[in-house]
Structure formats: C-alpha cells, structure tokens
Amino acid sequence: MDAGLGVLFVTLQMTLALVFLIWLWAARAVSARRSPPDTREKLLWFAGISFTLAVVAEFYFMFAPSSPNPHTKFPVLASFTLACLGVVLALFGRGKGRIVTAIGCCGLALSWLPFILP
C-alpha cells in the first residue's frame, strides 16, 4: 500500500469513526427519557461505550510511539474486540442509534482485520 494512500485511509477511518460517535451520542442524548431504561436500552448504552473505547484504543494505536515491545498489538486487539462487542450489543439493543452503532463498530472491526490476521 502506498504511504499516501495509507494516510488517506487512516484519516478517512478516523473521521468516519468520529462522525459516527458524535451522531450516536447526540441521538442518545436527545432520546434520553426520565423513566429508567429497560435491559435492551442498557445494552445499547453499553454498545455505545464499547464503540467509544474502541475508537480511543484506535487513537492510542495511531499516535503512540512505536516500539518493538511485545505489547504493540494490544491496542489493535483491544479496539477489534471492543468493536466486535459493540456490534453484538447493538444488535440486541433497542433505541436510537442502534444501526449507526452497529455499522460504525463493523467498519472499525473490519479495518483492523489485515493487521490481526497473520
């Protein structure tokens, strides 16, 4: 992959993840009710939190100083695992932002597959 194309891909991926996150939390803030959420609505909150943590791990991986230590793949695996967890939780959740959370998590998880697979 050309270096310019790789930078463009990473920039696009980070921008889309941030757009999905902003849309998700804005939709959740607008749809907040005063009554306590049921279990399926809580699952969607946890999916949003998982997606947010996956994006934070991705930012850490992109901007952390590269070193030859064995824990270098940890942010990649953490981001991938949290994104997969977010997909599962979003599929079982209910409320606004469910589809956006699932699509954002899928996109984030699929973008890490080339780095995780041998």
Q: Which structural domain, as residue segments, surrounds residue 54?
A: 3-116
- Tally of structural domains, the chain: 1
Output the tens digit of pLDDT for each of the chain's 118 residues: 455 666 666 677 778 888 888 887 887 777 766 666 788 888 888 888 898 888 888 887 777 766 555 556 777 788 889 999 999 999 998 877 788 888 888 888 888 777 777 6
Q: What pLDDT does 118 receive?
A: 67
**pTM for the whole thing?**
0.76
- Phi and psi at residue 38, in whole multiples of 5°? -85, 180
Q: What pLDDT does 85 receive?
A: 92
